[in-house]
Amino acid sequence: MKLIVFGHRLELGGTQINAIELAAHLRDRHGFDIVFHAAPGPALDLVAAHKLVYSPAPDVRLHPSMARIKALRALVTREQPDLIHAWDWWQGLEAYSGVHLPMGVPLVISDMMMELTRAMPREVPTTFGFVGQRDRAVQSGWRRTHLLLPPVDTLANAPGVVDGGAFRQHYGLDEDEIVVVSVSRLAKVMKSEGLVRAIRVIGELGATLPLKLVIVGDGEARGALQQMADKVNARLGRAAVLLIGALRDPRPAYAASDIVLGMGGSALRGLAFAKPLVMIGERGFARLFTPGTVPEFLQNGMFGVGDGAADNLEMAAAFTTLAQDPQMRRTLGDFGRDFVVEHHGLEAVGDGLARFCREAATARPRVTQTVRDVCRTSYYYLRERRFRVASRDQHAKP
């Protein structure tokens, strides 16, 4: 089966990595003929590393984009795919309006957002990234849904695969320091709040505990975060917060960590390295990943929303407990690794997606259903004025 994977810009983000790794899995394990279509970016190296056939898409600011629709239509005409897999709602709408409706090409949309996008068509087979989101979609009228948990390659992301010691040596991380690693795009929306709070917590605890926060990533919030880090480091008299920029391969950072701080795919990859995890989200959310918190995260995704309190007590308590208890770090790390292998392993997630794609390639809704869906989608799109800048800030996701 020939599949066009239609992505956004190839940034070093969780959704982009998921799309690339799953595309390679579908090709290697299920024999899919894959063409990867997205705007170029730093993750293009990952596309090349997986030896995926790549077709560049226009890099635009406004969605839906006629330039992107024209490029997709030309690619479809040339490749004659059996199915298009669009990642996220803005690619989904471009593929839906530009190719699926006028050309009749079957379509699957993967919506990894934390809230339902009402302007999405409900007759198109759609995947969702956590249980609660899929349940809400079914209640809201989506008829063909699939749970697509964020996948993790548990062979490439595993203890001992890369050298964490070399990373610690390169960045001057002492053996007696408790290294907290965050791998994240430094976006002002959603992503940076947890890091701002983490820097503050390190500033509070760093006088009595040998904690060091290493932030791996880049983005428009980096300048402000660096200013905060400089103030904390000056006050403590040591480099307690270190921003090292983006890494094309962040695995050595995970391997070097004693504690991982993050959300979404980054959190899962940290768990895959058998590291204890402090989950973060919005409005001050921070929660230690334990057997007791697993049901919450399975239901709501690897993310959370707090009450907006400014005290950061949960994050401080989690850092303190883990810093003082090496055995707990080992126990929770082993538990997290087992969790990721069981629930998020690339093989199991990819096999489920392959079945869903094969079903979607032959599914044909009735004309009356399609007409109703077009009218409903158009109504919500126009009412919510979805024609807007699709910057990575606006669409950052865990």
Per residue in 354-366, pLDDT (tens digit) is: 999 999 999 876 6
Q: Is residue 397 part of a domain?
A: no
* Region 191-199 average pLDDT: 93
H or E element in which residue 301 lies: none
Residue with tokens 């899995």: 25
Count how many domains the chain has: 2
pLDDT average, residue stretch 85-111: 94
- State the chain's mean pLDDT as an integer: 92
Same domain, 61 and 122: yes
Which tens digits make up the pLDDT trace of 138-184? Answer: 999 999 999 999 999 999 999 999 999 999 999 999 999 999 999 99
Residue 366, pLDDT score: 67
- How many angstroms separate the first and last alpha carbons of the chain? 30
Q: Which two tokens stand for residue 177?
A: 């320091």
pLDDT above 90 coverage of the chain, percent: 81
Q: Give percent of the chain above pLDDT 70.
A: 92
* Residue 368 and residue 262 in one domain: no
**Do 72 and 200 have their domain in common?**
no
> 373 lies in which domain range?
2-151+345-389
- Tell me the average pLDDT across 221-229: 96
Return the pLDDT at 397.
44
381 falls in which pLDDT band (50, 70, 90)?
A: low
Euclidean distance between CA atoms 318 and 89, whole angstroms = 35
**Is there a single domain that holds both residue 206 and residue 88?**
no
Give the single-character DSSP code of 183: E
| Residues 338 and 367 both lie in one domain | no
Decide if pLDDT at 391 tops 60. Answer: no
Separation between Cα atoms, residue 282 and residue 304, nearest integer Å: 6
Q: What is the pLDDT of residue 390?
A: 44
pLDDT at 394: 45
